Amino acid sequence: MRRRVRIAVDALEHLVGGLGTSILAMAGLFWLLAVVVSSLVGVGLPLIGGSLRAVRSIADRERGRLSRWGPAIVGPPPVPDRPSAALRDPAVRRELAWVPVHATFGFAVGIFGLSLPLSALQDLTYPLWYHLAPPGEGAPGIPFWNVDSLAEAFGVALAGLGWLAVLLLAGGALARSQAWPGRRLLGPVPGADLSLRVAELTATRAAALDAHAAELRRIERSLHDGTQNRLVAVTVLLGAARRAYTRDPATGAELLDRAQQAAEEALGELRTVVRGILPPVLDDRGLAGALDGLVAGCALPCDLAVELPVRCAVSVEATAYFVVAEALTNAVRHSGATAATVSVRVDGDRLLIGVGDDGRGGADESAGSGLAGIRRRVEAHDGRFTLTSPPGGPTTMDVELPCGS
Amino acid sequence: MRIVIAEDDALLREGLALLLRAEGLDVVATAGTPAEFLAAVDAHEPDVAIVDVRMPPTHTDEGIVAARAARGRRPGLAVLVLSAYVEQTFATELLAGGAERLGYLLKERVGRVEEFLTALHRVAGGGTAIDPEVVGQLLARGRSDAGLGRLTPREREVLSLMAEGLGNTAIAERLFVTDGAVHKNIRAIFAKLGLAPTDRADRRVTAVLRYLDTTARR
């Protein structure tokens, strides 16, 4: 029973949605008729292209609605610019056939579907208010039935139960029948060329792969130019120490000292690289949770505002995390700030990150702080990085990343 | 011997300079970018340049490009290229104009100070120093080649030592055999590769054969 109710509620939702597009289709139909009539006398001809595009946008709305609900409906290529070509386009012709069907049949089914629960409500509550109804008007929906006793009013309520039963039993079928012309006529023309859709998917996929490759390049670079150089320095210093050992033990000892230092630096850098690849906490708790943890562990009191209705690509989230982590580390180490703010939100397809502190400012990208690393990493994602840090502060950093999702 | 070092990593640059100076070599300048390096070559007229392959701005092959530019400005400049990893195209790009006064070594070989100094002196003296790893890869690629495929393991060993730039006596010492045995191996290699003493036409063959070519002419 509960399943039935859920199906009926879903069906009602679809019916109302379909009613919405059918009203649009109706408007489109009137517009089309006006254009056709005015074209007969010549003045409407320049409007044909625009009206076909209007029909396309209405049809796209229906495609979107049907795709959210059932199997996705792939849209056709754009309407050809020349009206004569457009009118020959099979997809356009099928849309023109769909408009009157959906404007009439779809509208009627939608109204009927919507009236079912309303009628049920009205009839079921009829015994409560039948005595208020103006005499001689008859029961709701049944004008010839003059109700003048409670028993008869309960009879009307029984009819309400009937409406409810119809909704429960036939709601799904109604919604399907309303969607049927759209599914039949708005899908790709049988045997149509799907190359456009394929091209679109290829492009987005390539962009994702590009971001991935940029990430791998960044890792390769930090391993080769950072960690490996440290290790080479270790071997060079060890080699020098070995040569110096017999000649000049004091120098040898100093070289060994420096070699050890370089080895420790190599380890530190390796740790940074590994942490930068994909902080494990991102996987466990998502970006918002990971930032929470970051802020909680920060030595400065930090105000965090995160607004993330959607998840971004993993590499983008990792970069966002890295940016905030580096920026906070900088603030703690160099700024002398007493408080920091972090905000992360999504605007369209961009992830916006802002980190600020009330410290002494004067942050310099070329001074070997993590700032250059932040810029490199952001730019690898085609993002934007802006730093304002006048002497005396405050410092604010704004980063914009494409979400990539 | 006047030396210029071009290496963008500060710690490694200073480490190298320190090592060479401790060995009594004359490091006249160090540079962190290709531009600084070329300026140093002009200003200090070095005999040898030690150059890192990856340098700013893009950290790809700036070092190779700079090394070739330096040789263009100062013919006869010996160049020892240091690389973080073996990259075939870098090696062939570098060796395209002949292998004389050229070296291509993995960075970590510097830590083996005696061998590194030998390689440095060899390059400065007009010879070649190719990293065993580079040679190994060239040979592995050449294995399908009819000539190289016919070499015995010992001959292959001799060939790779030759490609590293070792002379006959050094090869004999390294392999614990007599000079005569090495001679015999080398003659066999030339015969199997079909290399006439003046043969230098085959452009398809790799840097090893190029090297063999110059050895044969000597």
What is the least distance, in Å, from the CA of B133 to any CA of chain A?
A: 16
Its pTM surpasses 0.95: no
Using DSSP, state whether B199 is helix, strand or coil.
coil
Residue B15 has pLDDT above 50, yes or no: yes
Residue B137 has pLDDT above 90, yes or no: no
Same domain, A256 and A300: no
Task: Flag whether residue B16 sits within 8 Å of chain A, measured between CB atoms.
Answer: yes
Of the three residues A277, A293, A316, the one that is the final residue of a domain is: A277
Which residues of chain A neighbour B23 with C-beta distances below 8 Å? 243
Average the pLDDT over A365-386 and give the result: 77
In angstroms, the Cα distances linking A223 to A30, A258, B23, B84, B214 are 66, 21, 30, 10, 37
Residue of higher predicted confidence among B31 and A403: B31
Domain containing residue A331:
280-402
Which residues of chain A neighbour B110 with C-beta distances below 8 Å? 232, 235-236, 239
Same domain, A174 and A131: yes
Exposure b/e, B1-29, CB count within 10 A at least 16 = b: bebbbbbbbebbbbbbbbbbebbebebbb
Same domain, A301 and A250: no
Same domain, A232 and A260: yes
Average the pLDDT over A213-223 and give the result: 80
Contact residues for B13 (Cβ-Cβ < 8 A; gap 6+)? B5, B7, B30, B32
Read off the tokens for A305.
């505002």
Which residues of chain A neighbour B22 with C-beta distances below 8 Å? 240, 243-244, 251
The pLDDT value recorded for residue B195 is 59
Same domain, A255 and A284: no
Distance CA B21, CA A376 (A): 36
Angle at A209 between CA B56 and CA A203, to 5 degrees: 115
Which residues of chain B neighbour A224 with C-beta distances below 8 Å? 54, 59, 84-85
Which domains are seen in chain B, by residue range? 2-130 (3.40.50.2300), 135-217 (1.10.10.10)
A224–B54: do the CB atoms touch at under 8 Å?
yes
Looking at chain A, the whole-number percentage of residues with pLDDT higher than 90 is 22
The pLDDT value recorded for residue A343 is 94
Read off the tokens for B67.
């090394």
Nearest residue of chain B to residue A218 (CA atoms): B59
Average the pLDDT over A77-104 and give the result: 87
Same domain, A62 and A153: yes
The pLDDT value recorded for residue B97 is 66
A236–B15: do the CB atoms touch at under 8 Å?
yes
Burial class for A64, CB neighbours closer than 10 Å (0-12, 13-18, 19+): middle
Average the pLDDT over B61-86 and give the result: 90
The pLDDT value recorded for residue B41 is 94
Same domain, A240 and A367: no
Q: Which residues pair with A324 in a beta bridge?
A: none
Of B22, B59, B108, the CB nearest to A232: B108
Residue A312 has pLDDT above 80, yes or no: yes
Q: Which residues pair with B48 in a beta bridge?
A: B3, B78
Read off the tokens for A364.
């310099």
Distance CA B19, CA A234 (A): 12
The pLDDT value recorded for residue A73 is 80
Same domain, A147 and A239: no
With beta carbons less than 8 A apart as the criterion, state whether A338 and A302 touch. Answer: no
Residue A74 has pLDDT above 80, yes or no: no
Of the three residues A185, A215, A248, the one that is the final residue of a domain is: A185
Same domain, A79 and A126: yes
In-domain check, residue A369: yes
Same domain, A290 and A254: no
The pLDDT value recorded for residue B47 is 94
The pLDDT value recorded for residue A193 is 62
Dihedrals φ, ψ of A400, to 5°?
Answer: -125, 125
A235–B54: do the CB atoms touch at under 8 Å?
no
The pLDDT value recorded for residue B32 is 93
Using DSSP, state whether B196 is helix, strand or coil.
coil
Instruction: Note if the bond before A301 is cis, omega within 30 degrees.
Output: no
Of the three residues A277, A292, A318, the one that is the final residue of a domain is: A277
What is the least distance, in Å, from the CA of B25 to any CA of chain A?
A: 13
In-domain check, residue A195: no
In-domain check, residue A196: no
What's chain B's average pLDDT?
A: 80
With beta carbons less than 8 A apart as the criterion, state whether B31 and B12 touch. Answer: no
Contact residues for A26 (Cβ-Cβ < 8 A; gap 6+)? A103, A107
What's chain A's average pLDDT?
A: 84
Residue A257 has pLDDT above 70, yes or no: yes
pLDDT tens, B139-193? 665 555 556 667 788 888 888 787 777 778 888 998 999 988 988 888 787 777 6
Nearest residue of chain B to residue A237 (CA atoms): B15
Residue A33 has pLDDT above 70, yes or no: yes
B18–A240: do the CB atoms touch at under 8 Å?
yes
With beta carbons less than 8 A apart as the criterion, state whether B6 and B63 touch. Answer: yes
Q: Choose the weakest-confidence range: A176-180, A289-293, B133-137.
A: B133-137
Write out residues 113-172 of B within 8 Å (CB-CB) of A. 113, 116
Q: Residue B200's pLDDT band (boundaries 50, 70, 90)? A: very low
Residue type, position A298, single letter: C
The pLDDT value recorded for residue B2 is 94
Looking at chain B, the whole-number percentage of residues with pLDDT higher than 90 is 29
A240–B19: do the CB atoms touch at under 8 Å?
yes
pLDDT tens, A148-188? 777 888 888 888 888 888 888 888 889 999 999 988 888 87
Which residues of chain B neighbour A229 with C-beta distances below 8 Å? 9, 11-12, 84, 107
Residue B85 DSSP class: S
pLDDT tens, A298-307? 888 889 999 8
Residue B215 has pLDDT above 60, yes or no: no
Q: Residue B38's pLDDT band (boundaries 50, 70, 90)? A: very high
Residue B34 has pLDDT above 80, yes or no: yes
Of A224, A238, A265, the CB nearest to B84: A224
In-domain check, residue A152: yes
Burial class for A183, CB neighbours closer than 10 Å (0-12, 13-18, 19+): middle
Contact residues for B178 (Cβ-Cβ < 8 A; gap 6+)? B172
With beta carbons less than 8 A apart as the criterion, state whether A107 and A19 touch. Answer: yes
With beta carbons less than 8 A apart as the criterion, state whether A60 and A68 touch. Answer: no
The pLDDT value recorded for residue B213 is 43
B12–A233: do the CB atoms touch at under 8 Å?
yes
Chain A positions touching chain B (beta carbons under 8 Å): 221, 224-225, 228-240, 242-244, 251, 255, 258, 262, 265
Of B54, B84, B113, the CB nearest to A243: B113
Same domain, A7 and A136: yes
Task: Flag whether residue B96 sits within 8 Å of chain A, measured between CB atoms.
Answer: no
What is the least distance, in Å, from the CA of B199 to any CA of chain A?
A: 39
Task: Flag whether residue B56 sits within 8 Å of chain A, measured between CB atoms.
Answer: no
Residue A221 has pLDDT above 60, yes or no: yes
Number of domains into which chain A is organized: 3
Distance CA B125, CA B45 (A): 16
The pLDDT value recorded for residue A68 is 83
Burial class for B217, CB neighbours closer than 10 Å (0-12, 13-18, 19+): exposed
Residue of higher predicted confidence among B176 and A315: B176
Read off the tokens for A280.
């494990």
Exposure b/e, A294-314, CB count within 10 A at least 16 = b: bbeebebebebebebeeebbb
What is the least distance, in Å, from the CA of A323 to any CA of chain B?
A: 22
Q: Is residue B154 within a helix (H) or strand (E), and if so which, with residue range?
A: helix B153-164
In-domain check, residue A191: no
